[in-house]
Amino acid sequence: EVVVDNPYDGSEAARVRLLGASEAVAQAVAAARVQREWAAETTVAERVELCGRFLDALEADVDRVAADITAQMGKPLAASRSEVRGVRERAEAMMALAPASLAPEQLPEKPSFTRRIEKVPVGVVLAIAPWNYPLLTAVNCVVPAVL
């Protein structure tokens, strides 16, 4: 178990279960299996819509999420709220780029071949967010991985 201290007053900000290596690998393998099935069944448009629902849920919980950030790292609450709201701007930019960026590319013809580049989700990602901007940097990894 990992205890996160509030740097302002030393109180306990959070307590997180620490997985052993074998349990962490097993969970990643299970997640990858589910992800492959999910990716095969969803379109880019559906994944963009899912990211939009995530943003709506995050925005609806902005006060709690901001309070957690402040408690864990000591950032002023107004700055934490700003970070949570900044996630939407970054994510929406990626979501807007996704349909064109992730569309299949048809390559020049070649006799007896159909050639194209397909862009599909490749699997589970690991994002280690830095202490100073935990959400703004994590969204740069998580949203593209979902899209």
Which residues on neighbouring strands pair with residue 16, listed in sequence order?
A: 2
In this model, does residue 60 exceed pLDDT 90? yes
The pLDDT tens digits of the residues spanning 124-139 come to 888 888 888 889 989 9
- Residue 52: pLDDT band (50, 70, 90) is very high
- CB atoms closer than 10 angstroms to residue 142: 19
Enter the tokens of residue 130. Answer: 């830095």
